[in-house]
Homo-oligomer: A and B are copies of this chain.
Amino acid sequence: MSKKALILLSGGLDSTTTLAIAKSQNFDCYALSFDYGQKQKSELVAAKRIAKLFSVSEHRIMKISLDDIGGSALTDKAIAVPKFKLSDAIPITYVPARNTVFLSYAMAWAEVLDCQNVFIGVNALDYSGYPDCRLEYINAFENMANLATKRAVEGQKLKINVPLIKLNKAQIINQGLALGVDYSLTQTCYQADENGRACGFCDACEYRKRGFIDAKIADPTKYQ
């Protein structure tokens, strides 16, 4: 089996930890990021920094236009990113079909790379209730992918690895620290400024902050 892995890398806490985990498993790592029309672009600066730090074999940033489709506070300038509020509802920061579009491109690139392992940093505990972060979704995607591609039909199955799926933020942070991740270099905020400083009040900031508190680790995040 190919020891290549393709890691979806946003430059945030979760995807960076996921890359560190893939590295620790001796995979030859390829990183894929998306300039998908997100309002804040500084996460791509973080992604580049982290890809370089982890010496990935190749880092691609694909430009796609989910903002043309809209329907999310992360891509639509007319919809503000709200302050964190505990709720069971799927928030307005949900981007329609985002992980499916991302994983579809990952599938395509993995096939050309001759790579059988895709890693994605979804987790089902401390997250925002997005349906496409749940294990049952990931399993359904993997099943679909293995009916879709030439490689899979020829017997080279694709595995979607979700090493964080059952971890909370504090556990993710502890695992990353054990692997030497410097979280000051990661960026999680939905509306960081152009210098990558976090707002401190969106859902993503809130879950991240609580993670450092629960892990009893000083929060290295730069706030605005």
**Residues of A near any B CB (own CB < 8 A):** 60, 62-66, 68-71, 90, 94, 96-101, 104-105, 107-109, 111-112, 131-132, 134, 136-137, 140-141, 143-145, 147-150, 152-154
Please indicate the chain B residues that have their CB under 8 angstroms from the CB of A100 in the complex.
Answer: 104, 107-108, 144-145, 148
Please indicate the chain B residues that have their CB under 8 angstroms from the CB of A104 in the complex.
Answer: 97, 100-101, 104
Let me know if A136 and B147 touch, CB within 8 A: yes
Q: How far is the CA of A5 from the CA of B221 in the complex (A)?
A: 45
Let me know if B60 and A112 touch, CB within 8 A: no
Nearest-neighbour CB distance to chain B for A55, whole angstroms, equals 22
Q: Which of A63, A97, A112, A141 has most chain B Cβ within 10 Å?
A: A97
Q: Secondary structure of the A side of the interface?
A: helix
Q: How far is the CA of A144 from the CA of B66 in the complex (A)?
A: 19
Please indicate the chain B residues that have their CB under 8 angstroms from the CB of A62 in the complex.
Answer: 65, 68
Q: A97-B105, A137-B148, A141-B148 are in contact. List 17 more A-B contacts (CB 8 A).
A: A60-B68, A62-B68, A90-B153, A97-B107, A98-B108, A100-B144, A100-B145, A100-B148, A101-B101, A101-B104, A101-B105, A101-B108, A131-B150, A131-B152, A131-B153, A132-B148, A140-B143
